[in-house]
Each structure stands twice: as structure tokens, then as C-alpha cells.
Amino acid sequence: MLFTPITIRGVTIRNRIMLSPMNQHRAHDGFADDSLLVHLGKFALGGFGIIMTEATAIERNGRVAHGDLGIWADEHIPGLRRVCNYLRNMGATPGVQLAHSGRKGASQRPWQGFGPLNETDAKRGEPPWPLVSPTREALGPGHVVPEQLSLDGIDDVLRSYANAAARADAAGFDIIEVHAGHGYLIASFLSPVINTRNDEYGGDFAGRIRFALKVAEAVRSHWPQHKPLIFRLSSVDGHPEGWKIEDSVNLARELKRCGVDIIDCSSGGLRQSTALENAKRYPGYQVTYASQIKREAGIATVAVGLILDGRQAEQVLNEQHADFVAIGRQALYDPFWAHHAAQEFGIDPNFESWDVSAGWWLAKRKDGLAEIGLNGAGKVERSLRERTDAMRDR
């Protein structure tokens, strides 16, 4: 199933492999440049079906860190269009993840410590900025205390989501994923731990999911009906009094009614880390969330988290746990993960699914290796010394 094409609404995707969104923090003022083209382009060359951008801020103050990709201005469209055109020309389906950091913004890049921006950061030209959240609770000591969103402020953010969706269409993206997990703005509204509002956007479950549903409606209203819409959720947040898998199932049912087609099933991130707090990690540790949401909410899902090789991914799909697998850090390690999985299954022995300029050379490489007793993966059929000696004796 991994390499079976699938059509969602009016978009056909060449396989079930999605590049998981991973922040690179290389943009300048939100603009897509050559680094993004090269970064995402290698995964299109590597055979991935859906190429999802990193978290792309719908507002300047909705960035996680300096260097975030942006879609808050029309000026961002041409650079994003250039990336989309290349990905599509390579056979991939371009997707954009729309994001708002909420109280987790104004942070350092992960490799700088992921703490709050401080005076040292400001002196080198990277100061903090104002944040918004459901309440005035800061992420942690030293972090910017967010402004509590008023009803008018919520309406402004909803308009920003709608406008970002329109820009995504203008740029040529075929899929939108709304980031509603990992403790960012939408997830903060969902959380019974963070969202202590007593108005229509807080309180009981119906109140806490209201913002997420309105985001879905705003995006769908400005996103063509033939294009799919994904929501990424933290299926559970790991807090004993927090968001549970049953909440995700119930939210997924409501999102489906709002025009959402797929749920991307991650977890954790209520506090600073995007990881599930106190979770034991093992290959496919989040697959059960995708399976339960798919089964009980009746919606397509993406399984993500320590999916390491093609056979593991194939098992996830064959056992009906999910409709797609998302590959993240493993893709950074091996940008040709999808092609290598096809080689592993023996379904592309002659490299025909690769870009022709690479596939031709790789087929020649395979033939050349066979002539000297090596198979296509470079494994020695008999010792290299023995083979070399035999060739010398000819």
C-alpha cells in the first residue's frame, strides 16, 4: 500500500509517504529562498508523495522563532510559488503547514537553547515580540507574558488564517495542514490545563474546541473545495489533567463536519518541548493514536513518530492503522527514504521511479556492480580481495 496512489478530493498523491513538517528557521522576514527550495526539493527527488513545509506563520507575531517561514503577506507568495512549482514538476504534492505559535513564540531556535529570547539575542538583532494566547499564562520563567485574546482579537486571528489559506492557493499548494498541536495557539485553546477562559471559547469541551472549529471553517472557506485539508493534533498531551485521546476522537468528528479530510496524529508539546512528556519511545509509538482516531472518528489519518523503514510503514498501512505515514528526522537522515523503500520491496529494481537524470546513472551503476560481483546495494558476493585478484588475472 505504501506506493499505491491515493486521491483525496481532487488531488492525486503518488504514494502514502508524507514529509513531516520540521522547522528549519532559515527564512529572512518569512520569505522562502534558495535554502527552502534545496531543502524541500531533495525530498521530492527522493520520492516522497506529500512535501509539507515547516510551520509557516500566518502572522508575524505568530512565529515560533526568528527565521520562521511566513505566509502573512502577499509578498511571500512568489517565493513559495517557486518552491511549489519545483516540487510539482518532480512529481510530489506540495503542502503548507499553517501555524500560529501562541504563547510558545519569541523563542530561541532549538539549537540555541529554545529558551526565551533575551538581551543577548536582542543585541544581535533578534529581539522578542508580543504574544497572544487564550490566557495570560506565560510558557515559563523568562518567557513573554502573552496578551489574552479578546473576542475581537480572536476574529482577527481567524481572518489571518483565512487570508493565509488564500495565499497558499495563490502560491500553488495542493494541501493545507493546520497545526493544532504541540501547545501552540490552537492547542492552547483546546487544553483544559491552559484554557481557563469563562467565555464562549473556554469552559467545557464545546467551548474549548470552538476556536479550532472556527479556524477550520475560516480556512475551508478560502481554500478550494477540490483541495484537501489536514489538521495536526496532539492526540494526547501527556498531562494527567490534560487532553486525552477521547478528546481527539470527538474533535476529529467535528472537524470532519467542517471540511477537514485528514488528521495528522502527533502528541505532546503542552509545555516547551514538542515531545510527549514522560512518554516511552519505541518505533511507531504514536501509531495507536492514528489507528483509534481513524477507526472511531471515521476519518483518514497520518501516523507519525519513529517510523524508520519501509516495512514498518507498510505494516502500519496494511493493518489499517492509518492512510499515510509521515517521515521526519529519518527523512533528514535519508532524503531518498521513499526510493530506498521501493528498492527494499523490489518494486523499482531499475530505478524508474527516480528522476530520469539520476535513475539512468543508478541503473548503469547497478549493472556495473553486477559485473564485478557486487549487488545494487553494494554487498560483496565474494570477498573484494578475491574478486580483485581474479580481475587482475584476466
List active site positions: 184
Closest CA to 329 of 164, 8, 75, 110: 110
Closest CA to 138 of 93, 188, 70, 179: 188
CA dist 318 and 313 (Å) reads: 9
What is the rounded end-to-end Cα distance, in angstroms, of the chain? 47
Quote the cell numbers at residue 264. 495528522
Contacts 24+ apart (CB under 8 A), 299-302: 299/252, 299/253, 299/255, 299/256, 299/260, 299/261, 299/262, 299/263, 300/8, 300/261, 300/262, 300/263, 300/324, 301/262, 301/263, 301/264, 301/265, 302/18, 302/230, 302/262, 302/263, 302/264, 302/265, 302/326
336 SS3 class = coil
Torsion of CA 264, 59, 108, 39, to 10 degrees: 60
Quick one: three-class SS letters along 234-275? Answer: ECCCCCCCCCCHHHHHHHHHHHHHCCCCEEEEECCCCCCCCC
Q: What are phi and psi of 51, to 5 degrees?
A: -105, 110
Using alpha carbons only, give the angle 161, 293, 339 rounded to the nearest 5 degrees: 80
Residues 84 and 173 sit within 8 Å (Cβ to Cβ): yes
